[in-house]
């Protein structure tokens, strides 16, 4: 279902404004975006769709970003999907934990559109 030049992104973010801003950036660049507003919604979407990239916040209700990363990386079918963590948590331990669990990149909020797109494209291109 992926668009050959871009791809499908699962965006997991409980902050409505952050979700809309990030979604708008990705849509403008031609990506298909499916949004989840909490960890529970994200897990359901991960089980029903295929994604080229996952962008997740860390601190969310129901299941946090760490749980999402663990779930993705523990399954053979989704292990290859690149993950970008976006968080306002600048705490080095949290960042290191995300990488240890299998995150591929990290962006601190507030994000810059250009930086996000460079990282998204690099990860998707490296995964095709």
* H or E element at residue 50: none
Q: Output the pLDDT for position 2.
A: 43
Alpha-carbon distance of 114 to 75, in angstroms, equals 31
Q: Output the pLDDT for position 3.
A: 42
Q: Which domains does the chain have, with CATH numbers?
A: 8-127 (3.40.50.2300)
Spell out the per-residue pLDDT of the chain, length 128, in tens: 444 458 999 999 999 999 999 999 999 999 999 999 999 999 999 999 999 999 999 988 788 999 999 999 999 989 999 999 998 876 788 889 999 999 999 999 889 999 999 999 999 998 87
* H or E element at residue 118: helix 113-127
């Amino acid at each position: 279902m992926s668009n050959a030049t871009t791809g499908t992104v699962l965006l997991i973010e409980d902050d409505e404004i952050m979700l809309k801003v990030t979604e708008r950036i990705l849509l403008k660049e031609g990506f298909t975006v499916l949004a989840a507003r909490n960890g529970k919604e994200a897990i359901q979407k991960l089980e029903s769709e295929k994604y080229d990239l996952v962008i997740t916040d860390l601190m969310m209700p129901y299941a946090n970003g760490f749980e999402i990363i663990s779930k993705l990386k523990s399954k053979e079918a989704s292990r290859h999907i690149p993950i970008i963590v976006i968080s306002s948590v600048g705490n080095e331990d949290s960042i290191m934990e995300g990488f240890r669990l299998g995150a591929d990149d990290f962006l601190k909020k507030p994000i810059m559109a250009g930086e996000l797109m460079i990282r998204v494209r690099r990860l998707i291109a490296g995964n095709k």
